[in-house]
Amino acid sequence: MREERKRNIISEAKEKGRELMENFNMLTLFDILLVIFGAYMLFSGQRMKNSGKISTLIVPESEIQKIGNKKDFIKEVYGKMMVFAGIIMLYGAFGILTDFIPNIPGAAMGNIIGVIIFFVAMVWFFRSLINAKKKYMY
């Protein structure tokens, strides 16, 4: 009896594992990478603010030398960088959630809205970054 119960528990665990792996696909991997990148962007922005050194994540090393007032550049870009990183992480987390819990009501509409917000935020951040470079580069 005990041995049979053990086999049933193991069988159920294997079945649940198979279901999870069926839901794990390339989009899930992409969502995980988005969360990691967003966290790295948050970390880089915070380090940039604390150290006063511009992150090579947002400005190539060769262009950093051309930025005159680094402190003001960081001040202008930091908040926008944090907002964009947060949006990236939330979008990735929502994607992971909908990959593993497929029957969430409104998930399809949430994905469409998420894509729109993500792309609008991306355009906003990169335009802000380009404008800041123009303003502070000599």
Torsion of CA 134, 62, 84, 96, to 10 degrees: 150
- The answer to whether position 10 is within a domain reads no
| Residue that wins the pLDDT comparison between 8 and 87 | 87
Domain that holds residue 69: 25-136
- The answer to whether position 8 is within a domain reads no
CB 44 within 8 A of CB 113: no
Nearest to 124 by CA among 78, 85, 84: 84
Average pLDDT over residues 5-30: 72
Over residues 43-84, the pLDDT tens digits come to 999 999 999 999 999 999 999 999 999 999 999 999 999 999
**What is the share, in percent, of the chain residues with pLDDT greater than 90?**
65
State yes or no: pLDDT of 106 exceeds 90: no
State yes or no: pLDDT of 110 exceeds 90: no
For residue 20, the model assigns a pLDDT of 58
- The answer to whether position 20 is within a domain reads no
Which DSSP string do the residues of 45-63 spell out, in sequence order? HHHHHHH----TTTS-HHH
Residue 35 is encoded by which pair of tokens? 């969360």
- The answer to whether position 1 is within a domain reads no
How many structural domains compose the chain? 1
- The answer to whether position 113 is within a domain reads yes
Average pLDDT over residues 24-42: 91
- The answer to whether position 112 is within a domain reads yes
- The answer to whether position 12 is within a domain reads no
Nearest to 34 by CA among 95, 89, 112: 89
The predicted model scores a pTM of: 0.78
Average pLDDT, rounded, for the chain: 89
State yes or no: pLDDT of 22 exceeds 70: no
State yes or no: pLDDT of 1 exceeds 80: no
- The answer to whether position 15 is within a domain reads no
State yes or no: pLDDT of 38 exceeds 80: yes
